[in-house]
Structure 1
Amino acid sequence: MIKKILIVVDSIDIEDSSGSKANVALINNLHHAGFEVLVYHYTRKNIQLKNINTIGIPEIKWSFLYFLSRGQRVFSRKFKVNLAPFFEKRFGFSFTFFNDTKSISKAVKKESFIPDLVLTLSKGASFRSHYAVLKLPHLHDKWMAYIHDPYPFHYYPRPYNWVESGYDFKQIFFEELSQKAKYSAFPSQLLKEWMSSYFSDFAQTGIVIPHQNEKYTVQNTNFPSYFDVSKFNLLHAGNLMKQRSPESLLKGFTLFLENNPSAKNDAKLILLGNASYHSEMLDYYKNNISEIYIHNGNKAFDEVYHLQKNVSVNIILEAKGEISPFLPAKFPHCIEANKTILSLAPYYSETRRLLGEDYIFWSEVDDVNKIAMLIEKLYQLWKQNPYQLTLNRKDLEDYLSADYLQQQISNL
């Protein structure tokens, strides 16, 4: 029976990425589920999680790899030459990556805590904690590798088309990981199936542990100046990468306003998050349509979460493609907010799978007319009674809960 869990994680700073928020929620829910949890983290900040034994991993600063990494950084800054692709093509990873993973494995190797399960968590394309534990064979028979996204990058579904320097080394790394880790875990069923098509061992070792619905308490309950709680507010919170374009959403909202001129007094579309690739387009809408508010940059999680719980509609926007196997990290926050979700996603997507095939407020990402129609339908419901726009999905609340998490771990 699993009682003690050692967690090795890149970062527990919830302000640095959606991945870190998801990881902290998972850690906290493991604690709430009754497991004894010890966390080793490489945040390089003094961060403690409430009621959880949390240990920061120091960076090794007296090593050949450390000086190589800093030397490369100084050279690149001075001569304006990016050497990273050159070295990664030959070694697979950066010198910084190698030094970071050595720092992590060294710290974990010294730990006297004897766990029943070792869980590695990461964010973005890092997977540093996974690489570090891969170098510690004595932990492999207790190891659960949590795979939050496709890896390497060339295994992302279209429209993503990245091929990294050193992709062949990264592929070998994940092949070995898939064979050595006793368990693998994925935030979505579709991602488990997707990655199993490339690394067959995941089909046997994999389970689904969705991003967690942690009960977060808002610290500042004052609304920002751009938000009027009495209006029909639609919110998209999160980064908009190149492949995740908001153009059809903006066109759909604009068409909704054209078809419903009186809604200009009531309706507001709010976009919060980094979207540098779309800056020119966003500036146009920001400067020409007063019913649209856009902040191209980060907002504090506390502020965003408070808005998610008080808007009329939360929007989950995904990339246009044949399939989206990702479970967006904001999905649990939107379920917890208990507001209607406007899902803009491919037909085959984890969000649509969970909301259900009969969920009304879903559209393909680029269907402007349907987006406008759905917004109009939501607006009419809001006009009748704003409280009609509650989600009320107890099944999804349970699926994202500490109780379900406890069942998944106990069934290993």
Structure 2
Amino acid sequence: MKKVLIITYYWPPAGGPGVQRWLKFVKYLPQFGIEPIVFIPKNPNYPIQDESLNREVSNQLTIIKRPILEPYKVSKLFSKSDTKTMSSGIIEDVEKQKSMQKLMLYVRGNYFIPDARILWVNPSIKFLQTYLQKHNIQNVITTGPPHSLHLIGKGLKEKIKNLKWIADFRDPWVNIDYHSQLKLNDNAKQKHKELEDSVLNEADQIIVTSFKTAEEFRQKTNQPIEVITNGYDETENLDIDLSEAFSLVHVGSLLSQRNPENLWKVLQEFLEENKHLRQFLELHFVGKVSQTVLNSIEAYGLKDYVYLDGYLPHLDAIKAQKSAQLLLLIEANNPVKSGIIPGKLFEYLMAKRPILAVGPTAWDVQKIIEETQSGTTFNYQDKKSLKQELQKAFQEFLQGKLCISSKHIEAYSRKSLTHKLSKLI
């Protein structure tokens, strides 16, 4: 059986979408003749934890843990709340940032390049060079973000002859949207570009999760690039009753930039025009929600319809999706985000409930939703058509006919995607 070392930062008990991708790949790789070995930090700083995911880790799996020096743990001494907020991905708009958060963002952006896990790179290269040679492992996969982990693969590639290195990008690097909030100076921006260029051109194989990212990277490298999206796990397909409310459910983080005011405005107008809706409407959020978004929802008179669950264990989040009347998928109104396909989209596909997606123009998500006939996609200017869709959905809900007949979702099962990955190893 061929062996592959997978270098990842996020692993159970980490919660959130970052851990799901490689947890599932590792689960299914042995079925395709590949033995995964996982390398993770011994003492990571996980802003979200989900102990239930530990149940999916096989007792037969070899896991290597090595200490990591976490700057976020040091920053907690100065501002615990700001550190937790930043490390979980919630960065408020510039005008709402406190002085301490502005300072922390500047330090993070300009002194820890490409990210706060850079201090783990050199110790990991030193340890893994010996480990790989001792155990005759000739295949390595790095997954980012954090993109500093790709520098571990780069270092190992330079030191070990005939090593095959695959770099997996769950998100873009230089063109990721939050770079604009990190207060990067010109030197830091240039350093990011140089590091990204070196990884893209030295890795033997690039994997990306979206079509737009593949297009972007093909302008920067001649190395082979494969799109392997995130997916859903068939073993999690539960039989759950639908909500009796007209429930619009969003699962995952709603950052301040993901604030579709057109949706809140449409719902406000709909409530004013249709008093019957007031008896049934629920806005159900599972995960972290930015205060900016909550303030916007309240400004449109929707506060009484909001239900906040916070982060739920993965299985409970799936139950919430399966019980939804409509599933909300929201992305920022930013062209850079057109190449982001949230991992929750694929679990939404498995839930087989109508998806109502609001995001940037020419969003990769639209291609998948249309291909699978699983819902409708709108941009931030589609107020009239969005309202019509909600009115239609509510009438179907009242008649007990709100449903979809999605197609071709099997290609996005975790097992199918792992088979695709196995051919690259």
TM category, shorter: 0.7 to 0.9
Aligned residue for 1:149, secondary structure, equals coil
Do 1:317 and 1:343's aligned partners in 2 also have CA atoms closer than 8 Å? yes
Q: Distance in 1 between matches of 2:79 and 2:359?
A: 40
Identify if the C-alpha distance between structure 1 residues 86 and 269 changes in structure 2 by more than 3 Å, giving closer, same or farther.
closer
Identify if the C-alpha distance between structure 1 residues 312 and 159 changes in structure 2 by more than 3 Å, giving closer, same or farther.
farther
Identify if the C-alpha distance between structure 1 residues 271 and 128 changes in structure 2 by more than 3 Å, giving closer, same or farther.
same
Residues 218-256 of structure 1 deviation map (CA, whole Å, 9 limit, x = unaligned): 89x999xxxx82222211112122321132222222223
Q: Distance in 2 between matches of 1:44 and 1:300?
A: 21
Once the two structures are superposed, the pairs formed by residues 53-202 of structure 1 within 5 Å of their partners are 53-59=61-67, 73=75, 82=103, 85=106, 89=110, 92=113, 97-111=117-131, 112-115=134-137, 117-123=139-145, 126-136=146-156, 137=158, 138=160, 141-152=163-174, 155-156=175-176, 164=184, 166-197=188-219, 199-201=220-222
Do 1:317 and 1:345's aligned partners in 2 also have CA atoms closer than 8 Å? yes
What code does the residue aligned with 1:196 have? R
Identify if the C-alpha distance between structure 1 residues 325 and 238 changes in structure 2 by more than 3 Å, giving closer, same or farther.
same
Residues 170-198 of structure 1 deviation map (CA, whole Å, 9 limit, x = unaligned): 2211111111100000011121112333x
After TM superposition, give the deviation of residue 330 of structure 1 in Å: 0.6
What code does the residue aligned with 2:396 have? L
Identify if the C-alpha distance between structure 1 residues 371 and 16 changes in structure 2 by more than 3 Å, giving closer, same or farther.
same
Q: Distance in 2 between matches of 1:114 and 1:283?
A: 56
Q: Distance in 1 between matches of 2:38 and 2:73?
A: 31
Q: Distance in 2 between matches of 1:88 and 1:327?
A: 25
Identify if the C-alpha distance between structure 1 residues 257 and 43 changes in structure 2 by more than 3 Å, giving closer, same or farther.
farther
1:338 match? 352
2:35 match? 36
What code does the residue aligned with 1:367 have? D
Q: Distance in 2 between matches of 1:240 and 1:121?
A: 23
After TM superposition, give the deviation of residue 15 of structure 1 in Å: 4.3
Q: TM-score scaled to structure 1, two decimals?
A: 0.80
After TM superposition, give the deviation of residue 343 of structure 1 in Å: 1.5
After TM superposition, give the deviation of residue 12 of structure 1 in Å: 0.8
Once the two structures are superposed, the pairs formed by residues 191-270 of structure 1 within 5 Å of their partners are 191-197=213-219, 199-201=220-222, 204-217=223-236, 229-270=243-284
Aligned residue for 1:389, secondary structure, equals coil
Is 1:398 equivalent to 2:411 in the alignment? yes
Identify if the C-alpha distance between structure 1 residues 104 and 255 changes in structure 2 by more than 3 Å, giving closer, same or farther.
farther
* CA-based RMSD: 3.7
Q: Distance in 2 between matches of 1:350 and 1:70?
A: 33
Identity of aligned residues (%): 18
2:380 match? 365
Do 2:138 and 2:163's aligned partners in 1 also have CA atoms closer than 8 Å? no
Once the two structures are superposed, the pairs formed by residues 245-324 of structure 1 within 5 Å of their partners are 245-278=259-292, 281-282=295-296, 284=298, 289-295=303-309, 297-322=310-335, 324=338
Identify if the C-alpha distance between structure 1 residues 130 and 285 changes in structure 2 by more than 3 Å, giving closer, same or farther.
same
What code does the residue aligned with 1:309 have? K
What code does the residue aligned with 1:55 have? I
Residues 258-315 of structure 1 deviation map (CA, whole Å, 9 limit, x = unaligned): 33321222232212332335155256269754333245x4333332221011212211
Is 1:352 equivalent to 2:336 in the alignment? no
After TM superposition, give the deviation of residue 398 of structure 1 in Å: 1.8
Aligned residue for 2:272, secondary structure, equals helix
Q: Which runs of 5+ in 1 are unaligned?
A: 61-65
Do 1:8 and 1:120's aligned partners in 2 also have CA atoms closer than 8 Å? yes
2:343 match? 329
Q: Distance in 2 between matches of 1:29 and 1:236?
A: 28
Is 1:379 equivalent to 2:394 in the alignment? yes
After TM superposition, give the deviation of residue 59 of structure 1 in Å: 1.0
Specify which of 45, 49, 58 is matched with residue 50 of structure 1.
58
After TM superposition, give the deviation of residue 70 of structure 1 in Å: 9.6
Q: Distance in 2 between matches of 1:208 and 1:162?
A: 28
What code does the residue aligned with 1:406 have? H
Q: Distance in 2 between matches of 1:139 and 1:9?
A: 22
Q: Distance in 1 between matches of 2:354 and 2:72?
A: 48
Q: Distance in 2 between matches of 1:102 and 1:205?
A: 27
Identify if the C-alpha distance between structure 1 residues 43 and 18 changes in structure 2 by more than 3 Å, giving closer, same or farther.
farther
What code does the residue aligned with 2:43 have? R
Identify if the C-alpha distance between structure 1 residues 142 and 369 changes in structure 2 by more than 3 Å, giving closer, same or farther.
same
Aligned residue for 2:312, secondary structure, equals coil
Do 1:270 and 1:293's aligned partners in 2 also have CA atoms closer than 8 Å? yes
